[in-house]
Structure 1
Amino acid sequence: MELVATQEASGILTIRLDEEHLDAGNVKDFKEAMAPLLEKADRIVFDMSRLTFVDSSGLGALLACLRQTHRGKGDFKLCEMPRPVCALFELMRMHRVFNIHETREDALRAFA
Protein backbone atom coordinates (compact mmCIF):
# COMPACT_ATOMS: atom_id res chain seq x y z
CA MET A 1 0.00 0.00 0.00
CA GLU A 2 1.54 3.25 -1.14
CA LEU A 3 0.63 6.33 0.89
CA VAL A 4 2.43 9.63 0.36
CA ALA A 5 2.27 11.77 3.50
CA THR A 6 3.40 15.39 3.63
CA GLN A 7 3.47 17.56 6.74
CA GLU A 8 2.38 21.08 5.77
CA ALA A 9 3.89 24.16 7.41
CA SER A 10 0.52 24.76 9.06
CA GLY A 11 0.78 21.40 10.85
CA ILE A 12 -1.82 19.73 8.64
CA LEU A 13 -0.93 16.29 7.33
CA THR A 14 -1.79 15.63 3.69
CA ILE A 15 -2.01 12.02 2.59
CA ARG A 16 -2.33 10.77 -0.98
CA LEU A 17 -3.22 7.17 -1.74
CA ASP A 18 -1.25 6.06 -4.80
CA GLU A 19 -3.68 3.29 -5.70
CA GLU A 20 -6.56 3.21 -8.16
CA HIS A 21 -8.85 1.10 -5.98
CA LEU A 22 -9.77 1.13 -2.32
CA ASP A 23 -11.74 -2.06 -1.90
CA ALA A 24 -11.95 -5.37 -0.06
CA GLY A 25 -8.72 -6.49 -1.73
CA ASN A 26 -6.53 -3.81 -0.17
CA VAL A 27 -8.52 -2.27 2.68
CA LYS A 28 -6.61 -4.22 5.34
CA ASP A 29 -3.30 -2.86 4.03
CA PHE A 30 -4.82 0.62 3.87
CA LYS A 31 -5.88 0.50 7.52
CA GLU A 32 -2.45 -0.73 8.59
CA ALA A 33 -0.70 2.02 6.62
CA MET A 34 -3.05 4.73 7.93
CA ALA A 35 -2.89 3.75 11.62
CA PRO A 36 0.46 5.40 12.46
CA LEU A 37 -0.46 8.51 10.45
CA LEU A 38 -3.76 8.90 12.28
CA GLU A 39 -1.96 8.59 15.62
CA LYS A 40 0.45 11.43 14.91
CA ALA A 41 -1.91 13.97 13.30
CA ASP A 42 -5.27 15.39 14.22
CA ARG A 43 -5.80 17.52 11.10
CA ILE A 44 -5.65 15.49 7.89
CA VAL A 45 -6.39 16.17 4.24
CA PHE A 46 -6.82 12.95 2.25
CA ASP A 47 -6.11 13.36 -1.48
CA MET A 48 -8.22 10.94 -3.54
CA SER A 49 -7.02 12.06 -6.98
CA ARG A 50 -5.61 8.64 -8.00
CA LEU A 51 -8.68 6.63 -6.97
CA THR A 52 -11.03 5.39 -9.65
CA PHE A 53 -13.03 2.94 -7.53
CA VAL A 54 -14.12 2.65 -3.90
CA ASP A 55 -16.37 -0.14 -2.62
CA SER A 56 -18.23 -0.44 0.68
CA SER A 57 -15.12 -1.80 2.44
CA GLY A 58 -13.11 1.21 1.31
CA LEU A 59 -15.88 3.55 2.36
CA GLY A 60 -15.93 1.88 5.76
CA ALA A 61 -12.17 2.35 6.13
CA LEU A 62 -12.49 6.06 5.32
CA LEU A 63 -15.31 6.36 7.87
CA ALA A 64 -13.05 4.73 10.46
CA CYS A 65 -10.38 7.36 9.71
CA LEU A 66 -12.96 10.12 10.12
CA ARG A 67 -14.18 8.68 13.43
CA GLN A 68 -10.66 8.32 14.81
CA THR A 69 -9.72 11.91 14.02
CA HIS A 70 -13.01 13.18 15.49
CA ARG A 71 -12.38 11.21 18.69
CA GLY A 72 -9.10 13.12 19.01
CA LYS A 73 -10.95 16.42 18.42
CA GLY A 74 -9.41 16.69 14.94
CA ASP A 75 -10.78 16.59 11.43
CA PHE A 76 -10.36 14.48 8.30
CA LYS A 77 -11.13 16.22 5.01
CA LEU A 78 -11.26 14.68 1.53
CA CYS A 79 -10.14 16.38 -1.67
CA GLU A 80 -9.52 15.86 -5.38
CA MET A 81 -12.26 13.24 -5.59
CA PRO A 82 -12.72 11.89 -9.15
CA ARG A 83 -16.24 12.01 -10.57
CA PRO A 84 -17.01 8.24 -10.39
CA VAL A 85 -15.97 8.13 -6.73
CA CYS A 86 -17.91 11.31 -6.02
CA ALA A 87 -21.00 9.72 -7.56
CA LEU A 88 -20.71 6.80 -5.13
CA PHE A 89 -20.35 9.18 -2.18
CA GLU A 90 -23.47 11.03 -3.29
CA LEU A 91 -25.41 7.79 -3.86
CA MET A 92 -24.50 6.59 -0.37
CA ARG A 93 -25.10 10.09 1.04
CA MET A 94 -21.55 10.17 2.35
CA HIS A 95 -21.11 13.68 0.95
CA ARG A 96 -23.18 14.71 3.99
CA VAL A 97 -20.82 12.95 6.38
CA PHE A 98 -17.43 13.92 4.97
CA ASN A 99 -16.01 17.37 4.43
CA ILE A 100 -15.18 17.16 0.69
CA HIS A 101 -13.21 19.81 -1.22
CA GLU A 102 -12.46 20.10 -4.92
CA THR A 103 -8.77 20.94 -4.48
CA ARG A 104 -6.11 20.24 -1.92
CA GLU A 105 -5.64 23.99 -1.44
CA ASP A 106 -9.36 24.41 -0.69
CA ALA A 107 -9.17 21.66 1.92
CA LEU A 108 -6.11 23.20 3.56
CA ARG A 109 -7.80 26.63 3.66
CA ALA A 110 -10.87 25.08 5.26
CA PHE A 111 -8.83 24.43 8.42
CA ALA A 112 -8.15 28.16 8.85
Structure 2
Amino acid sequence: MTLEFPYRIDSRGRSAEREADARIRQMIEQVLFTQPGERVNRPDFGCGLLQLVFAPNSDALAAALQSTVQGSLQQWLGELIEVEGVQIEHVDERLQVSVQYIVRRDRERQLANFSRALP
Protein backbone atom coordinates (compact mmCIF):
# COMPACT_ATOMS: atom_id res chain seq x y z
CA MET A 1 0.00 0.00 0.00
CA THR A 2 1.10 3.53 -0.71
CA LEU A 3 0.03 6.85 0.69
CA GLU A 4 -2.64 8.81 -1.11
CA PHE A 5 -1.40 11.75 -3.18
CA PRO A 6 -2.08 14.50 -2.49
CA TYR A 7 -1.75 13.59 1.15
CA ARG A 8 -4.97 13.49 3.16
CA ILE A 9 -6.42 12.02 6.34
CA ASP A 10 -8.99 9.23 5.91
CA SER A 11 -12.19 8.63 7.91
CA ARG A 12 -10.25 6.68 10.55
CA GLY A 13 -7.96 9.65 11.25
CA ARG A 14 -5.00 7.94 9.56
CA SER A 15 -3.01 8.62 6.44
CA ALA A 16 -5.14 7.64 3.44
CA GLU A 17 -3.75 4.70 1.49
CA ARG A 18 -4.13 3.70 -2.13
CA GLU A 19 -5.12 0.06 -1.82
CA ALA A 20 -8.15 0.52 -4.08
CA ASP A 21 -5.91 1.34 -7.06
CA ALA A 22 -3.94 -1.88 -6.65
CA ARG A 23 -7.20 -3.81 -6.49
CA ILE A 24 -8.45 -2.18 -9.70
CA ARG A 25 -5.18 -3.06 -11.44
CA GLN A 26 -5.56 -6.70 -10.38
CA MET A 27 -9.13 -6.78 -11.65
CA ILE A 28 -8.00 -5.40 -15.04
CA GLU A 29 -5.39 -8.15 -15.24
CA GLN A 30 -8.05 -10.78 -14.46
CA VAL A 31 -10.30 -9.54 -17.26
CA LEU A 32 -7.40 -9.43 -19.73
CA PHE A 33 -6.00 -12.89 -19.13
CA THR A 34 -9.10 -14.93 -18.26
CA GLN A 35 -10.52 -16.95 -21.14
CA PRO A 36 -14.30 -16.97 -21.57
CA GLY A 37 -15.55 -20.29 -20.20
CA GLU A 38 -12.69 -20.55 -17.70
CA ARG A 39 -14.84 -19.52 -14.72
CA VAL A 40 -17.62 -21.95 -13.89
CA ASN A 41 -20.09 -19.47 -12.40
CA ARG A 42 -19.29 -16.73 -14.94
CA PRO A 43 -18.72 -18.45 -18.29
CA ASP A 44 -18.73 -15.16 -20.22
CA PHE A 45 -16.14 -13.44 -17.98
CA GLY A 46 -12.87 -12.44 -19.66
CA CYS A 47 -11.97 -11.17 -23.09
CA GLY A 48 -10.32 -14.03 -25.00
CA LEU A 49 -7.18 -11.97 -25.58
CA LEU A 50 -4.82 -14.95 -25.50
CA GLN A 51 -6.90 -16.84 -28.09
CA LEU A 52 -6.79 -14.03 -30.64
CA VAL A 53 -3.03 -13.57 -30.41
CA PHE A 54 -2.37 -16.60 -32.61
CA ALA A 55 -4.56 -15.40 -35.49
CA PRO A 56 -2.74 -14.03 -38.58
CA ASN A 57 -1.43 -10.55 -37.86
CA SER A 58 -3.20 -7.69 -39.64
CA ASP A 59 -4.50 -4.19 -39.05
CA ALA A 60 -8.03 -5.59 -38.84
CA LEU A 61 -6.98 -8.06 -36.13
CA ALA A 62 -5.22 -5.33 -34.14
CA ALA A 63 -8.34 -3.16 -34.29
CA ALA A 64 -10.54 -6.14 -33.31
CA LEU A 65 -8.26 -6.97 -30.36
CA GLN A 66 -8.32 -3.41 -29.06
CA SER A 67 -12.08 -3.17 -29.47
CA THR A 68 -12.69 -6.55 -27.80
CA VAL A 69 -10.41 -5.78 -24.86
CA GLN A 70 -11.81 -2.29 -24.35
CA GLY A 71 -15.38 -3.59 -24.53
CA SER A 72 -14.69 -6.36 -22.00
CA LEU A 73 -13.04 -3.95 -19.58
CA GLN A 74 -16.01 -1.59 -19.85
CA GLN A 75 -18.47 -4.46 -19.39
CA TRP A 76 -16.85 -5.93 -16.30
CA LEU A 77 -15.24 -2.87 -14.70
CA GLY A 78 -17.30 0.00 -16.11
CA GLU A 79 -18.55 0.99 -12.66
CA LEU A 80 -14.98 1.47 -11.45
CA ILE A 81 -13.07 2.75 -14.47
CA GLU A 82 -13.48 4.57 -17.76
CA VAL A 83 -11.16 3.01 -20.35
CA GLU A 84 -9.45 5.62 -22.52
CA GLY A 85 -7.22 3.38 -24.59
CA VAL A 86 -5.70 -0.05 -25.00
CA GLN A 87 -2.35 -0.82 -26.63
CA ILE A 88 -1.47 -4.45 -27.42
CA GLU A 89 1.95 -5.58 -28.62
CA HIS A 90 3.35 -9.01 -29.38
CA VAL A 91 7.08 -8.90 -28.61
CA ASP A 92 8.98 -12.16 -29.10
CA GLU A 93 7.20 -14.72 -26.90
CA ARG A 94 5.52 -12.11 -24.70
CA LEU A 95 2.25 -10.27 -24.96
CA GLN A 96 2.39 -6.71 -23.66
CA VAL A 97 -0.81 -4.82 -22.92
CA SER A 98 -1.10 -1.19 -21.79
CA VAL A 99 -4.42 0.12 -20.53
CA GLN A 100 -5.01 3.81 -19.93
CA TYR A 101 -8.05 4.50 -17.78
CA ILE A 102 -9.66 6.96 -15.40
CA VAL A 103 -10.72 5.80 -11.93
CA ARG A 104 -14.31 6.95 -11.57
CA ARG A 105 -14.02 7.39 -7.77
CA ASP A 106 -11.54 10.26 -7.94
CA ARG A 107 -11.22 10.93 -11.72
CA GLU A 108 -7.52 10.09 -11.56
CA ARG A 109 -5.88 8.98 -14.81
CA GLN A 110 -3.90 5.72 -14.59
CA LEU A 111 -1.73 3.67 -16.93
CA ALA A 112 -1.33 -0.02 -16.24
CA ASN A 113 1.12 -2.25 -18.11
CA PHE A 114 0.84 -6.02 -18.20
CA SER A 115 3.10 -8.64 -19.70
CA ARG A 116 2.42 -12.33 -20.13
CA ALA A 117 4.46 -15.13 -21.69
CA LEU A 118 2.52 -16.81 -24.45
CA PRO A 119 1.78 -20.52 -24.09
The TM-score normalised by the length of structure 2 is 0.32
Q: Which structure has the larger Rg over C-alpha atoms?
A: 2
Larger fraction in helix:
1
| TM-score, normalising length: structure 1 | 0.34
Q: Which has the higher contact order (CA 8 A, sep 6+)?
A: 1
